[in-house]
Amino acid sequence: MKVLYFADMVGRPGRAIFKHHIEKIKKDFNIDFVVVNVENASHGFGITKKNAKELFNSDIDVMTGGNHSFDKKEIVDMMDEFNILRPLNYPKIAPGNGIGRYKVADEEIAVINLMGYYGMPMVDNPFIMIEEEVKKLQDDGVKNILIDFHAEATSEKRALMAMLKGKVSVIVGSHTHVGTDDLVVEEGTFYVSDVGLTGCRDNVIGMDAKEPLDRFLTGVSSKFDVPNKCKKILQAVVVDIDDGKVREAFKIKAYDESEVFVSQEAFFEE
């Protein structure tokens, strides 16, 4: 099973470069299943129903979220209509689900959306909660498990890998919008601290530079904005899972409308 994962698609530029490349990426890399974190997909904050429909029509199978999952209130109704997950460790009374199970050909994959503690909204302990949920999936015979860990601190992400390596197939980090180069496979589990954004590459983490600079210079906050025109980047990982274990994994990139290329292969730790 070949899974394609995108972290943090940011605004219209992110949607545009995704739509430009996705069909060829799926064909060139023989992709079976596509997961995209869309919590920044609609002008940087949440996702609208219009944009969700547009993206699902562009071959996304599952959407994940994070601290901006509920920024657009229409998301509540959309969770019943689309394959949209929100972080598992939001309080139980919050709308939506944090785990989805999907059939891919003759196999099953579970996708889990999880959120860290540091700098995030009030959520339940992700480490205690995820250990219990992974055990339930394993007891139910699910071998292919992907976790989108939406967290600010790399220490939280590495700790999750230390706890779950050999027990899940994939742990991919999202939220920081800055890609890391620590792709590794240990005990059959693929890990990367952050895949990086898909969107504007010439501003500040996908947002127009003016507002962040004003905040750093004056200490006064203003609303962040996504530019309509910018230089764009697409970043994703391709993971080949066989019977719950990762056999191949690599990062792909594209700049604007240039060809997609493999930028880094995962290091397999003996």
Taking the chain (270 residues) in consecutive chunks of 10 residues, what is each chunk's mean pLDDT? 98 97 97 98 94 92 96 90 95 94 95 95 93 96 98 97 98 98 98 98 94 93 90 98 97 97 94
Sign, CA dihedral 79-66-19-183, equals: negative
Euclidean distance between CA atoms 33 and 151, whole angstroms: 23
pLDDT value for 3 = 98
Look at residues 151, 91, 163 and name the one whose alpha carbon lies nearest to residue 118.
Answer: 151
Active site residue 68: yes
Q: Considering 20, 21, 43, 68, which one is annotated as catalytic?
A: 68
pLDDT value for 200 = 97
- The DSSP output letter for 142 is -
Look at residues 200, 196, 222 and name the one whose alpha carbon lies nearest to residue 211.
Answer: 222
Give the domain CATH number at 104. 3.60.21.10
Domain count, the chain: 1
pLDDT value for 81 = 87
- Stated pTM of the model: 0.96
Helix (H, G, I), strand (E, B) or coil at 215: helix
pLDDT value for 59 = 87
Euclidean distance between CA atoms 148 and 137, whole angstroms: 16
Range of the domain at 91: 2-269
Look at residues 25, 24, 29, 77 and name the one whose alpha carbon lies nearest to residue 53.
Answer: 77
